Amino acid sequence: MPNPMLAIEIPWSPNITEIGGFLLTWHGLFTAIGILVGVQLSLRMAKVVRYDEDDAYTLALVGVPSGIVGARLLFVAEHWDFYGSNPAEIFAITEGGISIWGAVLGGVLGALLFGLWRGYPIGRGLDIASFGLITGMAIGRIGDLINGEHLAKATDLPWGATYTNADSPAFAHSIAVGPHHPATTYELLGDIAILGLLFYVFYGVFRHRAGLTFFTFLIGYAVMRFFLTYLRLDSAEGPLGLIRVPQTVSVLVVLGAIPFVYYFATRPPVPAPGEDLPPPPPAPEPASGGPRRDRRAATRSGR
């Protein structure tokens, strides 16, 4: 059995308290914190690009519940063997059980459809949403680490995690396999790296290209999630049994993003963050053939 040099023991119960039949868990708490912080960051980025503040608030009000619904629906679909027999558990969302991909796709789709209906600027709206999405996802993974909800393979690296509280979903798993990969913490660190990349492209290479910052986030997360899923043991197999559901979604997202990347890359430039639209290029000078033709005409007339 692997014996990491640094085996972090997590002794806490996944449940914080129960109030009037409402169970508050670490997963639910950090999910809520992630949503609040993510929305605030997106609203701040909206000011940077002078996106209408009321429109930004409205999109947040649409996107957040859409993301919550999408997160739960995809998780339930992925684990239908359990929820089909226990339909009442479908609504026990505070006890855990959401899909990050469902949150991203559901939230973006809901806000996108609303934005198209209302005629909002789509490219910059997607860009500012990407900052809030990746930040909320990173914070939410702190709750996953404490809960032990997502199981991972035994580790052969110099670190690992074990859960010692009997209420933790990972307790029995820790006894069976010993220290295992903190896969969701790897994802948290990857989310932070993607957030740094978003700031770089938003203010740098894509500063005049609306929409491309969002697809940097989407494709970057899809690639990371595809490979990290190899460490996870709690994801259902995909349709063909070759890869798992999150990997299948990742592949479909990357393939589906390609035409949109081309579309936004070929749109006219937009004002950079905090700047006015750059002046158009100077008009081309008259072709040299024109004056020569005039001179020739003058010569002929002089003759």
Give the whole-angstrom CA distance, residue 251 versus residue 273: 31
Summarised one tens digit per residue, pLDDT across range 93-108 is 655 577 888 899 999 9
Tell which residue, 281, 156, 171, 158, has the closest CA to residue 231. 156
pLDDT digits (tens, 9 = 90+) for 208-267: 999 999 999 999 999 999 999 999 988 778 777 789 989 999 999 999 999 999 999 999
The pTM of this model reads 0.84
- Break the chain into its structural domains and give their ranges: 6-302
**pLDDT tens digits, 93-148:** 655 577 888 899 999 999 999 999 999 999 999 999 999 999 999 999 999 999 88
Helices (H) and strands (E) in the chain, counts: 10, 4
CA distance 33 to 261: 31
> Which backbone phi and psi does 152 adopt, to 5 degrees?
-135, 170
Q: Length of the chain, please? A: 303
pLDDT band of residue 286 (cuts 50, 70, 90) is low
Q: How far apart are CA 41 and CA 56, in angstroms?
A: 11
d(CA 90, CA 28): 15
Contact 108, 127 (CB under 8 A): no
Distance CA 195, CA 186 (A): 14
Residue 73 near residue 48, CB atoms below 8 Å: no
What Rg, from alpha-carbon coordinates, does the chain have? Answer: 26
Q: What is the pLDDT of residue 193?
A: 98
Residue 43's CB is within 10 A of a number of other CB atoms, namely 18
Q: How far apart are CA 228 and CA 238, in angstroms?
A: 15
Q: What's the CA gap between 89 and 212, in Å, rounded?
A: 39
